Structure 1
Amino acid sequence: MDWQTLDSPPLLPPLYWRAALKRKISGSTLPDKGLRCRVSLDPRHVAAYRKVCGFADGPILPATYPHILAFGLQMQLLTDRQFPFPLLGLIHLSNRIRLHRPLGGVSELTLAVHAENLQPHAKGATFDLVTTAHDALGLLWQAESRMLCRGVKLDGDAPDNTRPAPVDVSELTHWKAPADIGRRYARVSGDYNPIHLSALTAKLFGFPLAIAHGLWNKARLLAALGEHLPAANVEIDVEFRKPVRLPGEVTLSASAAGASGELQLKGAGDIEHMVGTWRPIA
């Protein structure tokens, strides 16, 4: 892996221009390149993120927050000239977070991102966007976001990654996803993808209404679970099914609190939005 270390997190506006200008697939191999950067945490930004996602105040960072810190690095990697797929149109299929130690007492982190695991898919090709966070003691947090690029032609058969429906779950709570949550989440995350901002901008990309960010859904779900899950040595793996249209209302069901379990997020008409598991890190 060819690692490039940046002095500071990238500025987002130029990367959005880059993303807007690239609309075509330019290859079928992932670059052997990664980006690293050291970042400092801003308590006010953490507080704003907690508020938007429904997390209570506390000394432990939300499990999804390092994604926000790494968003600029992810954008720079995915809009690089060597990256073969256009950023606009990528579909976030699943997200797995591993918490190696509690996210407490964190003021600075070294973040790293790269892409790997290119595989054929029935609708194109998938790859994993891998993000890690290290502190002074070593690896603290890591995540893989599986992304789909439609229209890519790869040799080989698509693996069957179908996840069985959760069986031993019961309803825990429900909440509303307001019409403006895409815009509010964009302000704290930097993710201004048009499909999340308004019905008008979403229609330009084939959606009848704006849809909630997948990582807002996951964050809101983890906020609702609170201390239902372990604070460390846990892997939280979710698959995004049908998007949550805005405004909307969803219901969270989960297994009993413990070291491992299953979860499910459903909407009106029993539409399945998300399924997932948590378990100790292997």
Structure 2
Amino acid sequence: MPSQWRDLASPPALPGLFLRAALRRGIRGKQLPDLGLRCELSVDPKHLARYRQVCGLADSAYLPAAYPHILAFPLQMQLLTDPAFPLPLLGLVHVENRIRVLRPLGGLGPFSVSVHLGQLQPHSKGAVFSLITRLEDQLGLLWEGESRMLCRGLQLPGVAAHQPTAAPLPLKELATWSAPADTGRRYARVAGDYNPIHLYAATAKLFGFPRAIAHGLWHKARATEELAKHLPISGYELAVRFQKPLLLPGAVSLLASAQAPNGQLSLQGADGGVHMSGQWQPLN
């Protein structure tokens, strides 16, 4: 946990943060700031309804498991564009995401949302760090998310940590869905994530993609919905690795193991390429 916390009266406005991100160039160091941001906020029911619609989620008495990331996005943006943060935001790659649902995500708040950073670590393709988000209510920690971010332009001494892999389980097709060409723009209007790689073919080409690509957390939100019968209301962890980007428009199939406390998933394209893989397990 960081030693320095900054409490915000309200979530920061995104336009100025996007401008700051666009102007940031180059790597300025190898030490991440020991800083956390906190803010109290509540869920806007109309915004939640739009999020459910864009992600193809059914109405429920509980918040979607990936939704706290959306609540925290302005704080994440402010932290990643802070002058003390040494890496350029544009170009960071979201490679892994892990959420832990400790208690049922009922109600609309108020909640305390906090974000802070883990340490930089060597990676086979550069360096990675964790962006950690927490959602708390009056009873304490309710939900925790960890996004692993890759910076390709930074090399660190040492060997990349080995990621243990479980023996593969038999998978069966659970659901299929299409992602129209405007999926990235529709999700961006709800999530606030206007990364150019998700918006238009022309802007995605500036970063080496032939067409716009779908947001990783859009994939995860939809997959979590389809896994509703496999996952309990709370007391579980769902971790995924983002692999092959889905070019828009596109279509995918979700494969999953049998209903059980522990399981695995794979999101595959028509050509059999894996866009996202992961596993779920009970919290210890």
Taking structure 2 as the reference length, what is the TM-score of the superposition?
A: 0.97
Q: Which residue of 1 aligns with 2:169?
A: 167
Q: Which residue of 1 aligns with 2:96?
A: 94
Structure 1 counterpart SS, 2:271:
helix
Written as runs of structure 1 = structure 2, the 5 A alignment for 1:181-192 is 181-192=183-194
Q: Which residue of 2 aligns with 1:218?
A: 220
Written as runs of structure 1 = structure 2, the 5 A alignment for 1:122-141 is 122-141=124-143
Q: Which moved more, 1:111-120 or 1:219-228?
A: 219-228
- 1:232-252: CA deviations, max 9, x gaps? 000000001101110001000
Contiguous gaps of at least 5 residues in structure 2: none
Does 1:31 find its partner at 2:8?
A: no
- 1:103-145: CA deviations, max 9, x gaps? 0123211000001131011221000000000001100000100
- 1:52-105: CA deviations, max 9, x gaps? 011101101100000000000000000001001100000001000000001012
Q: Which residue of 2 aligns with 1:153?
A: 155
Does 1:233 find its partner at 2:256?
A: no
Q: Which moved more, 1:79-88 or 1:158-167?
A: 158-167
> What is the deviation of 1:226?
2.4
Structure 2 counterpart SS, 1:95:
strand
Structure 2 counterpart SS, 1:269:
coil
Structure 2 counterpart SS, 1:117:
coil
Q: Which residue of 2 aligns with 1:57?
A: 59
- 1:15-45: CA deviations, max 9, x gaps? 0000000121000011100000001111111
Partners of 2:101 and 2:235 within 8 A in 1 = yes
Q: Which moved more, 1:12-21 or 1:250-259?
A: 250-259
Structure 2 counterpart SS, 1:51:
helix
For 2:75, give the aligned amino acid.
L
Structure 2 counterpart SS, 1:231:
coil
Partners of 1:28 and 1:153 within 8 A in 2 = no
Partners of 1:230 and 1:258 within 8 A in 2 = no
Q: How many residues align?
A: 282
Partners of 2:184 and 2:213 within 8 A in 1 = yes
Distance (whole Å) between structure 1 residues aligned to residue 250 and residue 86 of structure 2: 35
Q: Which residue of 2 aligns with 1:244?
A: 246
Written as runs of structure 1 = structure 2, the 5 A alignment for 1:65-76 is 65-76=67-78
Moved over 6 A (4+): none
Distance (whole Å) between structure 1 residues aligned to residue 185 and residue 146 of structure 2: 25
Distance (whole Å) between structure 2 residues aligned to residue 107 and residue 258 of structure 1: 31
> What is the deviation of 1:161?
2.5
Q: Which residue of 2 aligns with 1:269?
A: 271
Partners of 1:40 and 1:109 within 8 A in 2 = yes
Structure 1 counterpart SS, 2:177:
strand
Q: 1:81 to 1:124 in 2, by over 3 A?
A: same
Q: Which moved more, 1:186-195 or 1:112-121?
A: 112-121
Distance (whole Å) between structure 2 residues aligned to residue 256 and residue 162 of structure 1: 22
Distance (whole Å) between structure 2 residues aligned to residue 13 and residue 275 of structure 1: 33
Taking structure 1 as the reference length, what is the TM-score of the superposition?
A: 0.97
Give identity over the alignment, percent.
60
Distance (whole Å) between structure 1 residues aligned to residue 258 and residue 232 of structure 2: 12
Structure 2 counterpart SS, 1:228:
coil
Q: Which residue of 1 aligns with 2:208?
A: 206
Partners of 2:169 and 2:263 within 8 A in 1 = no
Distance (whole Å) between structure 1 residues aligned to residue 206 and residue 112 of structure 2: 37
Partners of 1:28 and 1:84 within 8 A in 2 = yes
Distance (whole Å) between structure 2 residues aligned to residue 63 and residue 23 of structure 1: 34
> What is the deviation of 1:162?
6.5
